[in-house]
Amino acid sequence: MKLEKYVDKSKKKRKIILISLGVIVLISVSLLLYKTFASFTESAEFPIMNGKVDYFGNSDIYFVFYKGDDELLEEMPQKGNEENLVFDHGECDNGASIEWNENEWAPLVKNLNSPKTKCSLYFEEKQYPTAVEYITELAKTDTTNLKTDTTGDANIRYVGANETVNNYIDIGDRDGAGNPILWRIIGVMNNITNLDNGGRQESLVKIIRADSIGDYSWDSSTSGINDDWGVNEWSQADVMKLLNPNTVYSGTPAIGGSLYWNRERGSCYSDLKETNKPCDFTSSGISDEAKNKIAKVRWNTGTFATNDNTQWTASAIYEAERGSHNGKEQCASNGGGTSCNDGVTRTTTWEGYIGLMYPSDYGYAVGGSVRETCLGKSMYDNKSDSCNTNDWLIPSSEYSWTMTPTPYSSYANHVFRVHSSGFVDGKPVGTANGVQPVVYLSSSVKIIDGNGEKGTPYKTQLAHFAQY
């Protein structure tokens, strides 16, 4: 009997111990689960390492990334990725939810109460406007700095004084220190023949380098040709060969073409009789990124039938540039002479990448309250009526070349240029004047950032599907 009582008491004691241990284990497990998930009850942040989400090893949450609705991505897109993928929305199972921290570029998971939770993050391509779309839309509200010109093409142009026009644009050019080399937007030009797009007529954005790349001859010639002063035909001009690809200067073999295009150094023509000087574009030439963003187009190189400088209004010269007259026919019809003996065939169009501004570009860039007055005047007289101080295309050097020949009865060696005081005149092409390259942007170039100010220029990007 005593033994039985002892056994009964021992059994009860063991039972109590086992129950106690069970309670302790249950409490411990509960605390562990609470510790594991309590911090995620309201929120949990997941740090990014090298553009990837830290998956916390064997944790109970994992992420899946998608482009669009169903294209699975191997990893989460990095901020500022080339495809312009941005966060669209996220979904989690087991009642959890996702918020997105744009600054940290990371997901914020809330209400994570269940193990083995899956969260899906969806990214979409951000739609940026093309440069043409952006400026066309901006012109609807900014009627001070953007004006439709009076031509039959109805181009949209930036107008006004230099310090008021915010039309700076970054197309990827960098100097030797990595600083942006800026360009400025002339405007949206309509009915441009885009040779990169099957020769279709398109609206393209036209831009000009913000500063001159140096003073060089438009063209130079050997002694005895056009009185030693060069030939006013753009398709074979020395400055055209300097700016564009796959060109070789005529004349001295040591002087090579395409130096600006290739970012090389060498010699450039700077005066009559093929006088030249060292030139270096290793830090200032056009970059490969910028080349990818410019279009090969058909440029107009026509001019007036006669040299009556009282007729040099912006609208008249715009029509002349697109006309059938050239820079030699007037002197040739008058018997020629030593200043008209080059023997070079003249053309009124040219197909290529980099040109110079037209005189009409300068004329139509005038703005402010004097715009109508100045558009009615000859640009030969642009120094008066404040036309010059209200035109942002005033050259950065003393003179700036255009690509339009000037017709004279005795010369075939003159081209229009713009003076820093504002007037337009003709000058022998052998002289050295400022060169500001001009290009048309590819129709696939998009504006992705910036406001056009010099410190925050428009930033550009090619559509990712564009052919390089």
Number of residues that this document lists for the chain: 468
pLDDT at 384: 82
Q: What does the pLDDT look like over 308-363, one tens digit per residue?
A: 999 999 999 999 999 999 999 999 988 888 999 999 999 999 999 999 999 999 99
**Sole residue written with tokens 């993050």:** 121
* E strand or H helix at 37: helix 2-38
Centroid of chain to Cα 381: 34
Q: What is the CA radius of gyration of the chain?
A: 35
DSSP code of 221? -
Q: How many helices (H) and strands (E) does the chain have?
A: 9, 26
DSSP code of 457? P
For 390, the token pair is 């209200």
Q: State the Cα–Cα distance between residues 339 and 150, nearest whole angstrom.
A: 36
pLDDT at 341: 95
pLDDT at 464: 55
C-beta separation of 219 from 432 below 8 A: no
**200-209 vs 438-440, strand pairing mode:** antiparallel
Q: State the Cα–Cα distance between residues 145 and 126, nearest whole angstrom.
A: 28
Q: Residue type at 251?
A: G
pLDDT at 465: 42
pLDDT at 148: 98
Distances (CA, A) of 373 to 139, 206, 379: 22, 25, 11
pLDDT at 50: 34
pLDDT at 399: 93
pLDDT at 39: 39
User: Is the CA virtual torsion 444, 447, 448, 454 positive or negative?
Assistant: positive
C-beta separation of 318 from 151 below 8 A: yes
C-beta separation of 258 from 245 below 8 A: yes
Question: Mean pLDDT, consecutive 10-residue segments, the chain of 468 residues?
Answer: 42 61 59 45 40 49 90 91 90 92 91 86 93 98 97 98 96 95 98 96 98 96 92 96 83 74 94 93 96 98 94 97 96 88 96 98 97 95 88 90 95 96 94 97 96 97 58
Question: How many CB atoms within 10 Å of residue 17?
Answer: 10
Q: Which residues pair with 275 in a beta bridge?
A: 271
pLDDT at 246: 85
**Residues whose CB falls within 8 Å of the CB of residue 376, separated by 6 or more in sequence, listed in order:** 313
Domain boundaries, the chain: 44-125, 189-440
Q: Which residues pair with 423 in a beta bridge?
A: none
Q: State the Cα–Cα distance between residues 147 and 295, nearest whole angstrom.
A: 24
Q: What are residue 368's phi and psi, to 5 degrees?
A: 75, -170
Farthest-apart Cα atoms in the chain, separation: 150
- Model-wide pTM > 0.75: yes
pLDDT at 314: 97
C-beta separation of 132 from 188 below 8 A: yes
Q: State the Cα–Cα distance between residues 258 and 249, nearest whole angstrom.
A: 9
DSSP code of 93? S
